[in-house]
Each structure stands twice: as structure tokens, then as C-alpha cells.
Amino acid sequence: MPSFTTTLQKFGEKGDKTRWTYIEIPLAITDELKPGQKKAFRVKGTLDNHPIKLVSLLPMGRSINPDGAL
């Protein structure tokens, strides 16, 4: 299972996504999970040792850099 460190982020005023909490996942990680995937897909794992399941990754666009930086 891939592992990485990130920070929770929150949308401001952004239509239907207003105040959603999200994380940015590096492109290398998403490609390891589902190479070339451009649609939402379900994942499971842990977030700070709390199990998560039935959670979908929603693509917000592809990054230029393979490490996930914009």
C-alpha cells in the first residue's frame, strides 16, 4: 500500500465544493493505485491511523510534475 504525508485542505467559496475538506495526492501515488485513471475510484486505508473505506478519489486535473507539485 502506498504511503505519503500531506496536509488536510479546505475549499473556500467554490460552488458545490464550498467547504469540502480534501487532500492532494501526488500523481506518482495515484498512478501506482490506478495507472492512467481519469475518473473517480474508491480507496481504503488509514488516515492518521484511523481506518477509511468507501472513500472516492476525485480527480481535479493532472499535475505537471510527477511528485504532485503544480
Whether 2 maps to a domain, the answer reads no
Beta pairing class for 41-47 and 21-22? unpaired
In this structure, how many other beta carbons lie within 10 angstroms of the beta carbon of residue 8?
9
Rounded to two decimals, the pTM is 0.61
Residue 4 belongs to some domain of the structure: no
Per-residue pLDDT tens listing for the chain (70 residues): 788 888 888 888 877 778 888 888 888 888 888 888 888 888 888 888 889 888 888 877 655 555 555 4
Our count of domains for the chain comes to 1
Which stretch of DSSP H or E encloses residue 47? strand 41-47
For residue 29, the enclosing domain spans: 9-57
**Would residue 62 count as lying in a domain?**
no
* 1 occurs within a structural domain: no
In a domain, 67, yes or no: no
